[in-house]
A and B are shown apart, each in its own frame.
Chain A
Amino acid sequence: MAACSVEALLAKAEQEEAEKLKSISVQKELDLEFDIGNLLACDKNRIDLREFREQKKEDFLRSLARDNTQLLINEIWKQPTERVQEAIVVKLPDPATPLPREKPPPKAKPPTKWEQFAKLKGIQKKKKTNLVWDETAKEWKRRWGYKRAKDDTKEWLIEVPETADPNEDQFAKRVKAKTERVAKNEYNRLKNIARAQKGKVPVMGLATSTQQSKEELSLAVSVAKTSTASAGRFQDRLPKEKAPKNMGKKRKFEPLIGDFSNERHKQLELLKLMDGKKPKLDITKAVNKQMREEDREEAAAKYKKRAGKKGRKGGNMSGKGKGKGGKGGKGKGGKAGGGGGGGGGKRRGKPGKH
């Protein structure tokens, strides 16, 4: 009797299990494809059109949806679960369906000039604090930026170093140095970007890519020619190009003991000049030159005055523009000053001889 009941019990248990499983099992011809990462299920089974039209559409679709969802849920429940703050959570695998990206993947940036150098030397990046303790202000200030700790342009007292010109404006000097540093930094940053994009990086003196004058073009050509391994000595010339003037050597010295006849000739010429009654100094020429020089100086002074006034009234010019203008102006001024000074020196030297 016991054996009978045991068997009966087992059979009953089996039946119950089967019933339970029945409730969640779904019969399908083809298995569904699942992408659990996206909570996606694809049913490729043929849908019987006749069945669809016989039944009410909504009911048919609903039963189909129920079956498919059941299969999807069965699949999801197979994944590992864990408990996170009173909720049971199932861990999803990565999505399997390939979907197109929004934007193309980012391109690796080539290292900048500094990064290349640091890599070569083995220099590590040191993490610095954002704030620095400023003794004079007795508070924490930024290391760089607005109201930073050691801002030398903001000092109210600057000792004039012994080697410096007493009339020089030390404050302006510091501000100018700062603007020059900013301009240089900007220039280097743009050069890095140009290098990263494999753009053409122009040489310092030939930055313009717009209309260039004849002189600039010829300068560019000569620079390009000279930047070869043999410094341009074996470069072919264009059909109408003129032979370059001697751009290297500024002065030519005769050898000490060389051409005796030439040396003798020169010495005799010199003696003749020294003996001659004709004065070396041509007074009219000298006077004209002096007058021209004075006119030029006056014009330069007027221009400077006008430019100075404009600058104060005009207000904000961009920093880069100012830097460039300052550099260009200084260069021009330097050249003119040098030319004038050289000429004056020469002139003054000559009367000194006599």
Chain B
Amino acid sequence: MKNYFKYRKPKTKRSKRFLESRAPKLIEDVKTAMIMKGGNTSQTVTQALKDIVSSNITRPFEDSTSLEFFSKKTDSSLFLFGSHNKKRDHMPNDVCVTVSFVLFAGRLFDFHVLDMIELGIEKYVSLSDVKASKCPEGTKPMLVFAGEAFDTDNEHKRLKSLLLDFFRGPTVSAVRLAGLEHVLHFTALDGKIYMRSYRSLLKKSGCRTPRIELEEIGPSCDLVLRRTHLASDDLYKLAHRQPKALKAKKKKNISHDAFGTKFGRVHMQKQDLSKLRTRKMKGLRKRKGNVVAEEQDGQAPKVAKEAEHTE
């Protein structure tokens, strides 16, 4: 009887809608992110957190209890956890303390951690420090990843996918041309990842496509990739499985060849081969006179039948 409570029917329409919004769907909604602060967060880190994901914040939490529990409560699948580490290096005659600001960025699949990456923040310039006009919040940013590492190194590839998940915003079918303002540029160079945020100004160029000028806005940081906790290959594959309903339906009887020519297939009904004429023989051609005679013959028996019937 313990499990009975799991199968209660929702009693109100509102609770029903709530449960439906949390249930797995064919086409999913935008991912929301949880922003969390660890025990010793400094102002820099807090500022970093607030700036980076200002449009996706759900609720900041103060303590680091189970990540998965919070994810279930808020129905979020991305998280950003900021803290700061004090490392004590015991050198022979000296004890130095290195303080580093750390960000943990990660995502969840089915409320279990899929990927988690620790990023050290080396240099951070916050929104308030940069004096420039800002982009309105909520604009879908253009994302650019530069550097070979994002294509060759496995960890960088995952980081790229994670950053894409974080910053891409809702999937839209169309975008206002004038609204393409915000650009986020990530460069993987020299073991570090430089994140810069720009506002693009579309200048006249003489032809239809405008010339781009960039103006630096927004937070910029230099990140160092530290520890990673990446999902195993098969879990990663499982997370990517798309439901069959979303697969594009293939149109039957249409094929394309190597040159791009479109071929179609037509299915004919069975032909009466006895009536097939392979050669033109003038004598067999149906003539007008013959046709009329056939019609008359056709009609005559009908008339006879009717006469019989009445009699």
Contact B144 A38 (CB under 8 A): no
Candidates B151, B178, B189, B239; contact of A49 at CB < 8 Å: B189
Q: Bound complex: CA of A324 vs CA of B300, how far in Å?
A: 83
User: Which residue in chain A gives the minimum CB-CB distance to B195?
Assistant: A61
- Is B216 part of the binding interface, using a Cβ–Cβ cutoff of 8 Å? yes
Asked whether A65 and B177 contact (CB < 8 A) given A21-B207, A40-B143, the answer is no
Contact with B along A58-69 (1 / 0, CB 8 A): 100110111011
Q: A62-B214, A73-B212, A105-B242 are in contact. Are A89 and B174 (CB under 8 A)?
A: yes
In the bound complex, residues from chain A placing their C-beta under 8 Å from that of B239 are 100-101
Taking the complex as formed, is B37 at the interface, i.e. its CB lies under 8 A from any CB of chain A? no
Q: Which secondary structure dominates chain B's binding surface?
A: mixed
Compute how far the CA of A255 lies from the CA of B28 in the bound complex, rounded to whole angstroms.
Answer: 75
A65 and B214 contact, Cβ closer than 8 Å, known pairs A39-B141, A77-B209: yes
Q: Which of A43, A77, A105, A106 contacts B147 (CB 8 A)?
A: A43
B146 lies within 8 A of A105 (CB): no
Q: Count contacts on A: residues with CB < 8 A to the other chain.
A: 57
Say whether A69 contacts B212, CB under 8 Å. yes
What's the minimum C-beta distance from A194 to chain B, rounded to whole angstroms?
9
Known: A89-B177, A100-B107. A65 touches B206 (CB 8 A): no
Q: A99–B239 Cα gap in the complex (Å)? A: 8
Contact partner of B238 (CB less than 8 A), chosen from A40, A73, A91, A104, is: A104
Interface string of B155-178 (1 = CB under 8 A from A): 000001100110010011111111
- Check A90 against B240 for contact (C-beta < 8 Å): no
- Looking across the interface, which residue of chain B has its beta carbon closest to that of A37? B171
Complex Cα spacing A118 to B210, Å:
61
- Asked whether any CB of chain A lies closer than 8 Å to the CB of B101, the reply is no
Residue of A nearest to B211 (CB): A23
Q: Which of B18-26, B44-52, B273-281, B301-309 contacts A (4 or more CB under 8 A)?
A: B18-26
If A43-B147, A44-B151, A47-B189 touch, does A105 touch B243 (CB 8 Å cutoff)? yes
Q: What CA separation (Å) do A328 and B160 show in the bound complex?
A: 64
Interface string of A188-218 (1 = CB under 8 A from B): 0110010000000000000000000000000
Q: Produce 1/0 per residue, A34-48, CB < 8 A to B.
A: 000111111111110
Which residue numbers of B lie inside 8 Å of A, CB to CB?
Answer: 4, 7, 9, 23-26, 28, 31, 77, 107-111, 114, 140-148, 150-151, 160-161, 164-165, 168, 171-178, 180, 183, 185, 187, 189-190, 194, 196, 198, 200, 202, 205-214, 216, 236, 238-243
